[in-house]
Each structure stands twice: as C-alpha cells, then as structure tokens.
Structure 1
Amino acid sequence: MYTSRPKAPLCPVTVYLCEDTIDGIFTAIYRAWADGTSHTDVRVRTNDTMSLFETYIFSESDGTLARKVQRSIIQKLSIDIYETCYQAMLSDDNKKASTLYRFLQKAFRCGSDILNRLNDPDVFRIFELSRTVGHEAHKYLGFVRFEERNENLLTARIQPKSNVLPVLAAHFADRLQPENWIILDTIRRFAAIHPAGKPYFLQWGVTEEMLLSVPVSDHEKDWEQLWSCFFNTIAIQERRNTDLQRSLMPLHYRTYMPEITK
C-alpha cells in the first residue's frame, strides 16, 4: 500500500518588531539578518493582530547596530541606494520595514544595479515610497510658515502624512543658520530644534502646548494681517479656481498658513 511521505514541519517565522524610526528599523534588520533571512521578517510595531504561526521579538533601538547597517549599504551598494532607503523609511506605510528587509536581501545579492530592476515588486515599492516622501518634503519646503516669538525664536508647525521633518530640518539649517528656530510635527510630536549658529537636533515628545507657551512677538499678528490683506488684494475674484488651488496646494498643507483659509 502506498503511503505519502510525511511533510517536514514548517519553520515558524520570527518577526522582529521595531520602533518607527531609522535606528529602530536598521537595528531590527541587523538582528533579523543575524538570525537568518530565510525565516525572519521585520515590521514596525503597530496594534495589528498577531498571527498564531509567528514568533515575535521586540527589537530595542541600538545606534551602533544601526550604523553598521548604514555603512554596509553605503560601502557595498551605493550612497544613492542608501538615500533611497532612508527616504522610504520616512514614509507612513506600516509595511515599509518588511519591504525594505526584502529589498536589501535582493540588493546585496545583485549589487548596486538593484534600483534599475523596477519590475521587482519590492524594488518598485521602495522607489515609490521614497518618491512619495520626497514629493511631500518638496511641497513643505515652500509651505512651511514661521512665526516670530519672544526670546528671538522662530517656530513653525506642520502636519505631514510622512515623517518629512528630517529632510526639512537639513534644508532650513542651511538657509536659516543664524536663527533660533523650531519646526514641530504636531502629529508625531517630533521637533527639529536649531540653536543659532549650531547644528540642529531632533527631539521626540515635544507638544504643541510646549511650543505655544512662548508668546508671539508684538509684530507677528500685524505681519500676518498684512500678508493676508496682500494675498486677498492681489486675487482676482472672478478668476478664482478652487479646484486648481486644491490641486496645487492640498488642504492638509494649509493648517498653519494664515494667508489662506480652508
């Protein structure tokens, strides 16, 4: 009598859960890789229901391990691939860590030509995430509005979909080098803080109430009213095109822009 050969037991997948930060994702990738890429995955920690057929390990962020992954990407692949990966990790997509993990497995096998293989779904997805973050960051470079506050401080608030603050901070650190300024992502409670003449730093846990605790300067409201008056005066009411305005400047960019009403 013929009997079927018993199947080998399936190897359970070990999922490394990480913080939604650059260091958190890179650290989890390092540990998952060391454990073996054939049965591991990396995911950003969320409230999603866990599977009965997976083992979960929470990976604490470790700057030393994260720097090792960073150096490996730059030295063994290219700086362009690293910048693409870095920007993709700023996305709000909750599957980005897993996608990046699979992308890097393929990248280290085939080399720096990986970005040209857009027919691969993981390569295409990383490229797409990076492009989306870059597009939103580019928009905010023109839409960020600073307020002058007491104590010689400029502040700005944003509500981005992706975590574009690291990109914005590098830009404004170059443009506003002699100024004290803070840009706050009010959704993530994440701030870029720049003391005049010094390097900026990023700080988690900063609230909008903390930012607004410093009163605006005496002239700030006057400047806002003057700018709104100028904006409305040059507008031609008969040629107003609300749909075009929303296309060029979506509503979620306008929360902290005094010259434009929603």
Structure 2
Amino acid sequence: MPAAQIQYVFDGSKVGLLSCIFRAFQFKEFDVSLSLPNHCQHLLLADDSIDVANNPAHAERVWAGLQQRLSRTALRQFYLAYLSESLDAFQHLFDYAVHVFLNSYAVEKNYMQTSVLAVAQWAKKVGREKHRMEAFVRFKKTADDVYLSLIAPDFNVLPVIAPHFKTRYQDQKWLIYDETRQYGLYYDLSQIHEVSLNAHHIDAQIAAGHSQHFIIALNDAEELCDRLWKTYFQSVNIQERQNLKLHVQYVPQRYWRYLNEKQL
C-alpha cells in the first residue's frame, strides 16, 4: 500500500508557511497536505499529522532561497497569493515552492504546472481587491483630526495598500481599520503603525507598545461636507439615464458601503 500522505498543521502565517517548506526539505517530505488548526482533515491518522512550529530563522532561509530563484514579479505573486488567507492558496504555494527548489529551470513560467497557474490566479484575485480598495476607500475626518476608514476586504490587503495611501495622503493623519481581521494601519505623518482597536473603537493600541487615543466622532465640518456631497450627487444623477447593470459591473454592490453617495 502507498504511504499515507503527511499533514502539516501550521498557524496560517507567512513564517509558518515558510517553516513548512523548510521542514519538507529537511525530512524529504514532499507529498504533504497543509492544514490549519481549525481545519484538520480528520481522514488522516493522528500519527500522520505534524504540528509545524514557527521558526523565523528557517523562514528567512526559505525566503532568501526563493529570492534567488524567482523574479521580482513571481515573488510578488507569491506574497499576494499568501494574503488571500485561503488554505487552497497555501497548499499551492507549498507545492509551488517545492517545485522551485527541486528544479533548475524557470518554474514560474511553467503554467502547465497546476500550482504555478493557481498561484498566479490567486495573486490576480488579491491584486484586484487591492486596486478596488485603493479606488473605493473613503475617509471621514474625526473630532481628533484623524481621517478614518473602516473596511472589510475579502483578502488581507492592508499590507499592500499602505504605500498608496501614504503617498497620496502624506500630509494627513489617517487610520484604515480592517473590521474583519480586527487590525488597522495608522499613519502619524511620519510612519505607519499597525494598531488594534477595542470593542468601542476608541483606543488604538500601537504594536510598538505606544497608544494613541482617537475620538471616533465626526468633525463638524466633515458632517457638513458629507451632506453637501450627497446633495451634489443627487443633483447630477440623472435618474432616467441610470444603467444599474453597468454600474454594478464597475462598482460591485459589496463596495457601496464605502461610498458616501450610496448612504442616502
């Protein structure tokens, strides 16, 4: 009988994924099924399930190896696919990396290989979500003069949209908070900090150990601007010429929550 497939259980982090790849080569275990702690495949025997601990040193070695063997475009695709947070994407990334290290040719261009094509497809999905967040995110000025935006993207795109907003709004303090993943990015006119908010969205605990207090109440002028924008939108919107089907094609309904004019 063929040997049972080995299952690696990891925490879903980038370090954890790269640690799984390191272990695969350390023990020559390439026929591996990845799983997350809450998604273990019960069909596999307990003896075949291995908890892979995060090892930053091992992860750095794997990432350095990928940097040597992949182009910048392929590395970005790898990272974007990881941000999908999908177990399917994690599995393809694992298989992709195994092929990269086992072969001397340019694996990243071999789209006949299932994992190569899948990684490119996942990267495209995440990249599309990134661009839509950059286009549709709207800020509201709070009483503490911090521009706040609450988002709930399909994928964990905060790390890749930060450069766009830092460049575009470099003279304003802003906070983009992912309600789904319960963390955000705060720009203090100098640096971007990762923050977490309490249940009332009042205190923002900065990862570095400092704290920043925000009063999450709209600035008086912001409320006026919000009303003026909605009035302007209503005045220029020609009801008789509306094409809802085309409109939804360009601005899917799940993004309407970010647009002031949709909150009439």
State the TM bucket, normalised to the shorter chain: 0.7 to 0.9
* Structure 1: unaligned runs, 5 residues or longer: 1-6
Match of 2:201 in 1: 210
| Paired AA for residue 42 in structure 2 | M
Match of 2:210 in 1: none
Correspondent of 2:174 among 181, 186, 207: 181
Percent identical among aligned pairs is: 23
Deviates more, 1:20-29 or 1:98-107: 20-29
Length-normalised TM-score, structure 1? 0.86
Instruction: Give the number of aligned pairs.
Output: 252
User: 2:39 & 2:218 partners in 1: Cα distance?
Assistant: 39
Match of 2:247 in 1: 245
1:57 aligns with 2:50: yes
C-alpha deviation, 1:201, in angstroms: 3.2
Correspondent of 2:22 among 14, 17, 30: 30
Query: Relative to 1, partners in 2 of residues 1:121 and 1:174: Cα closer, same or farther, differing over 3 Å?
Result: same
Correspondent of 1:147 among 140, 144, 155: 140
Query: Relative to 1, partners in 2 of residues 1:61 and 1:228: Cα closer, same or farther, differing over 3 Å?
Result: farther
SS at match of 2:200: helix
Query: Relative to 1, partners in 2 of residues 1:62 and 1:179: Cα closer, same or farther, differing over 3 Å?
Result: farther
1:136 aligns with 2:138: no
**How well do the aligned residues superpose, as a CA RMSD in angstroms?**
2.3
User: 1:175 & 1:91 partners in 2: Cα distance?
Assistant: 25
Query: Relative to 1, partners in 2 of residues 1:38 and 1:23: Cα closer, same or farther, differing over 3 Å?
Result: closer
User: 2:37 & 2:244 partners in 1: Cα distance?
Assistant: 40
Query: Does the Cα contact within 8 Å between 2:7 and 2:44 map onto a contact in 1?
Result: no
SS at match of 2:96: helix
Match of 1:3 in 2: none
For residues 21-58 of structure 1, give each alpha carbon's deviation from its aligned partner in whole angstroms, at most 9, with x where no partner exists.
Answer: 32332233223332323343433443354223362233
C-alpha deviation, 1:92, in angstroms: 4.1
C-alpha deviation, 1:207, in angstroms: 5.3
User: 1:238 & 1:195 partners in 2: Cα distance?
Assistant: 45
Instruction: For 1:73-152, list aligned pairs within 5 A.
Output: 73-111=66-104, 113-152=106-145
Query: Relative to 1, partners in 2 of residues 1:104 and 1:258: Cα closer, same or farther, differing over 3 Å?
Result: same
User: 2:60 & 2:156 partners in 1: Cα distance?
Assistant: 20
Query: Does the Cα contact within 8 Å between 2:185 and 2:194 map onto a contact in 1?
Result: yes
SS at match of 1:209: coil
Length-normalised TM-score, structure 2? 0.85
Q: Which ranges of 4 or more aligned residues in structure 1 deviate by more than 4 Å? A: none
Query: Relative to 1, partners in 2 of residues 1:259 and 1:62: Cα closer, same or farther, differing over 3 Å?
Result: farther
Query: Does the Cα contact within 8 Å between 1:178 and 1:197 map onto a contact in 2?
Result: no
For residues 166-213 of structure 1, give each alpha carbon's deviation from its aligned partner in whole angstroms, at most 9, with x where no partner exists.
Answer: 111122122222322111111111212222112x1334x545632585
SS at match of 2:59: helix
| Paired AA for residue 13 in structure 1 | Q
Query: Does the Cα contact within 8 Å between 2:21 and 2:97 map onto a contact in 1?
Result: no
